Amino acid sequence: MTTEVKLATVEDTQAFGRRLAGVLRRGDLVLLTGPLGAGKTALVQGIGAGLGVEGAVTSPTFVIARVHRGPVPLVHADAYRLGDRPDPRAEIDDLDLDASAEDAVTVVEWGAGLVEQLNDEYLQVRIDRLDDDTRTVELVPHGGDWAIRLHELES
């Protein structure tokens, strides 16, 4: 079961992220895919706001991963710069994302094929940006109770 949403603006993308945060909990892994400029970081900004994290959520492209403290911490990682390495999975392991996985919501941009092993259950979010700047967001549950939670999100 997949869920698809159309979002007209960056603000709508952030608002959807806040709604998505309402079904997230400690230990969740969210994997974001989509082209540059699709709205992945805007979605994470909304998730951070919905989780009540401290400080601004910005792209971690150059620092690779950031931890945002809050009632439910957010680990925001970006694997974009790891893709051209001989063994990007080893670099993901070096980030030690699994050390905080139980206590935080972990969101990884550009992590397809690299981070799925961190959790048997995860949510894949595919974002595409159309020519009119509308974004389509497809939510694909992998294991666990994600399908139930996505149904709650639709309500």
pLDDT tens digits, one per residue of 97-114: 544 557 889 998 876 666
Over residues 43-58, mean pLDDT:
92
Please, which contacts does 71-75 make with residues 24 or more away whose CB atoms are closer than 8 Å? 72/24, 72/25, 72/26, 72/104, 72/105, 73/100, 73/103, 73/104, 73/105, 74/44, 74/47, 74/48, 74/104, 74/105, 74/106, 74/107, 75/100, 75/101, 75/104, 75/105, 75/106, 75/107
Q: Which residue is associated with the tokens 């974001």?
A: 32
User: What pLDDT was estimated at residue 94?
Assistant: 45
